[in-house]
Amino acid sequence: MKSARPYLIWFAIAVLLALGAIRGMQWVRDHPEHMPTARFEIAHPQGWATQRKLVGLADDDAACFAALDRVSAGYERRPVVGVGACRASQRMVLTGDKLVPTLRPANAAPGCAVTIAMALWNRDVVQPLAQKYFGQKVVALENLGSYNCRKIAGQQARSQHSTANAIDVSAFILADGTRISLINDWDDADVRREFLHEVRDGSCDLFSTVLSPDYNAAHADHFHFDMAARTAGWSVCR
């Protein structure tokens, strides 16, 4: 009679693999932020799939605005503008500062996907760093606009601004009125410089493109953020 030991070993291995698979499936259910196929939720923490999901929202108006509706975010949609490569259908303005600090000027109307990325950026990057360095909140963001039908400077490719899938942020206003601007504070040897550089670094896991004054002179006075879709999902952070 052959020994049953080899069969018992294989049975034990099969049981362990099955238990591992069950645990893995449970982990996936408990961490949808890491699963590209799981529905995006603003309330979820950032995960491996967050940026990919945000990029997907830029091409899915219904899913993007539904995500805002599920957290009862007040917003007003702006009329579709442009045609072809310059058609912007997601332009919107938040009606409160629940998700993103007040934009100045208020009529920037970035696309839905960019706005949601800014909400996560505000929650996970901007406000924690403002508390770390200044002990107070950022209450407003100065911006240089969102929609602009044009090509990237010096290139033939269309800018993400052409579909309002981008926004340029130039300054942060603290609760006490302190203004921290990129043009004045990016290279200063003080806490404002540290804040701005950490904000830039912390933005790279959310936005497809992050361009700062370190990139070139054209960005000396602002951060450029966008949710561009690229082959293989690669991103740019400079």
Reported as a single tens digit per residue, the pLDDT across 97-150 is 899 999 999 999 999 999 999 999 999 999 999 999 999 999 999 999 999 999
User: Quick check: 2 pLDDT over 60?
Assistant: no
Farthest CA pair distance, the chain: 86
Strand partners, 226: 166, 209
Tokens for 68, please give them: 């805002």
Tokens for 230, please give them: 């690229």
Q: Which residues contact 214 (CB under 8 A, 6 or more apart)?
A: 200, 238
d(CA 53, CA 63): 10
Neighbours of 1 (CB within 10 A): 3
Tell me the average pLDDT of the chain: 93
What 3-state DSSP class applies to 102? strand
